[in-house]
Structure 1
Amino acid sequence: MRPVVSNVAEQVSSVDFYYVDVDQSPELAQQFGVQSIPTMVLLKDGEEADRSVGFIPEEKVKEFAQV
């Protein structure tokens, strides 16, 4: 997913993208209820606005980021 998300991050300037290594940050993964990889969590105003689990193609990542 990283290459797909990186491409979208270059195209969508209105959203900040962050990667978290769940092995390095298990407490953050637990805080957000991440149980499967890859998981994308969209936050708006500090609250979860959407979630995607599993691989999705680039166009769907763009749509996800613009919710």
Structure 2
Amino acid sequence: MGPVVSSVAEQLDSVDFYKVDVDQSPKLTQQFGVQSIPTLVLIKDGEEVNRSVGFMPEEPLKDFAQS
């Protein structure tokens, strides 16, 4: 999933992407209720507005990030 996210991140200047290592950040993992990897959480204005679990191809990821 990493290469797909990197590609989309380069294309979308209006969206910031952050990668979290669940082994290194268990409190953050718990805070967001991550139970499966990969999990994508879309946050706008400090609030979760969308979530996706599992692999996502490039075009759907762009749509997700801009939703």
> Which TM-score band (shorter chain)?
over 0.9
Answering whether residue 62 of structure 2 is matched by residue 62 of structure 1, we say yes
Query: 1:43: Cα distance to partner?
Result: 0.1
Q: Which runs of 4+ in 1 moved over 2 A?
A: none
Answering whether residue 32 of structure 2 is matched by residue 32 of structure 1, we say yes
> Which digits, 9 at most, give the CA deviation of each residue in 1:1-48, with x for residues without a partner?
110000000000100000000000010000000000000000000000
One-letter identity of the residue aligned with 2:36: S
Can you give the 5+ residue segments of structure 1 that lack an aligned partner in the other structure?
A: none
Aligned sequence identity (%): 76
SS in 2 for 1:36: coil
SS in 1 for 2:30: helix
One-letter identity of the residue aligned with 2:62: K
- Could you tell me the TM-score, scaled by structure 2's length? 0.99
**Equivalence map 1:1-67=2 (5 Å):** 1-67=1-67
Query: 1:66: Cα distance to partner?
Result: 0.3
